[in-house]
Amino acid sequence: MTDTVPTAVLAMTGQSIWVDNITRDMLRGQLQEYIARWSVVGLTSNPTIFAKAISGSRDYDAQVAELAARGMDEEAIFFELALSDLGRACELFLPTFARTGGVDGWCSLEVSPLLADDARSTVDQALALHARAGRPNLFIKVPGTAEGVPAIEELTWRGVPVNVTLLFSTAHWRAAAEAYVRGLERRVAEGKSLDVCSVASLFISRWDTLLDPKLPAALKNRIGLGIGADCYAEYVAMHATPRWLALEAKGARPQRLLFASTSTKDPALPATLYAAGLAAPRTVDTMPEATLKAIHAGPPVTAVLPTDGGPLRRALAEARAAGIDLDAAAAELQAQGAKSFVQSWNDLLTDIRAKGGALAARW
């Protein structure tokens, strides 16, 4: 029997594997290995990832020192660092982008999380970052908060590729999907091309971290998978509606559902729990490196999520019957996620300020 590569088998289900990390050390070789042999076709980043990368190595010290000596503030320095890293990553993924016709080969850069409650400033910064990057395969990440939804529509209408982040429920996803569709419909009305790309990132594992202490044993570690399955069923259904098909006939691309936060937080659980459970065609799974390595080292994923979500959805009804308010939990998770990114952002800027001050004098 021919040996198979488990990540390649997962990719053959129709799901795109992206890696949720970026460091300069990774850019020196490991990312090329992932692309060439592990079927990785995209990359995501966020403030927490960059905070760990910049504080955890000296790879950024020389550039921080130079930029600080030029009088740049911490936020400006960060975006210079991030655009440098993501520019290199975008170059590595350009062959994938070309080969897939722009379906894959994407990298992502997030706007400042301090703008999550300000749609106008989010749009302005997203437009500026997209223009500065000058990369055809760079998504700008925008939070899917109530205040972020108008920004998603506006940026789609302007032709900026958006990765919607901080989605925790089917209702959150639906609001982001509707914003994307409205942006496309505005482009149709003005005779503009519909060749605009987007993904909508649904966070999975944090559900079980939040709810497991409140649930009976039979429901533990099932809610995250249930949320993913429920959203996938709605995603499939939306793309079979006359409204969507009319846009698709004019050249529109689906805003693909992306499963994020697919690492397990409980060390007693299989590292592949969420990634294996949510293998679904025409979706994306962005995996932390530990999850990617666990998939690569484990048995091939053979079960594909049914288009109606299958039995995984039952956990949601059972949770409601046990007294769990899933809508309130989704709101809590989104607020926690936004707060966590703000904390990472502030930590990141503090570290850059400290490094810049110490290094600029020597520079």
CA angle 252, 176, 283 (to 5 degrees): 60
Residues contacting residue 47 through CB under 8 Å, at least 6 positions apart = 110, 113, 341, 344, 345, 348
How far, in Å, CA of 166 to CA of 138, rounded? 18
Known active-site residue 141: yes
Secondary structure element (H or E) that encloses residue 138, with its range: strand 138-143
Joined together, the tokens standing for residue 63 give: 């550039």
- For residue 11, report the phi and psi dihedrals to the nearest 5 degrees: -60, -30
Q: Exactly one of 141, 214, 220, 293 is catalytic; name it.
A: 141
Query: Cα dist. 336→143, 181, 258 in Å?
Result: 13, 28, 20
DSSP conformational letter for 106: B
DSSP 311: G
Q: Other C-beta atoms within 10 Å of 154: how many?
A: 22
What pairs with residue 162 in β-bridges?
140, 198
Structure tokens at 215: 């649930």
Question: Are the CB atoms for 113 and 338 separated by under 8 Å?
Answer: yes
Kindly list the distances between the CA atom of residue 66 and the CA atoms of 28, 183, 198, in Å, as whole numbers in the listed order.
Answer: 21, 40, 35
Residues noted as catalytic: 141
